[in-house]
């Protein structure tokens, strides 16, 4: 894998391709933070700190959000390839 010719250096956002990749990477960082939050919910659930039904609902909703964010990342990857 080589360097893309559209890459103009770190911190230089000069076109659509670089902008899409920036948004994609910011979204990935958001996903990492949200994943840590979900892990915390699961650990609390395992320890019995929460009542079971609301905790399972929060984890299930979080999993749906993560799936949506993952799909957006895939779409941004495709958009960057086409830009």
Give pLDDT, residue 1.
Answer: 43
Report the interhelical angle of 16-47 vs 52-82 (nearest 10°): 160
Angle at alpha carbon of residue 36, lines to 68 and 26, rounded to 5°: 55
* pTM for the full predicted model: 0.72
The predicted-structure confidence for 20-44, as pLDDT tens digits, reads as follows 888 899 999 999 999 998 888 888 7
Q: Domains of the chain: which residue ranges? A: 27-82
Q: In degrees to the nearest 10, what's the CA dihedral of 59, 65, 67, 70?
A: -130
Cα–Cα distance for residue pair 82/62, rounded to 1 Å = 30
């Amino acid at each position: 894998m080589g360097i893309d010719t559209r890459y103009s250096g770190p911190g230089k956002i000069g076109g659509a391709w670089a902008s899409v990749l920036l948004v994609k990477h910011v979204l990935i960082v958001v996903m990492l933070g949200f994943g840590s939050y979900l892990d915390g919910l699961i650990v609390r659930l395992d320890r019995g700190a929460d009542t079971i039904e609301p905790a399972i609902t929060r984890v299930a909703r979080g999993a749906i959000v993560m799936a949506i964010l993952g799909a957006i990342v895939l779409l941004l990857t495709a958009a960057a390839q086409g830009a």
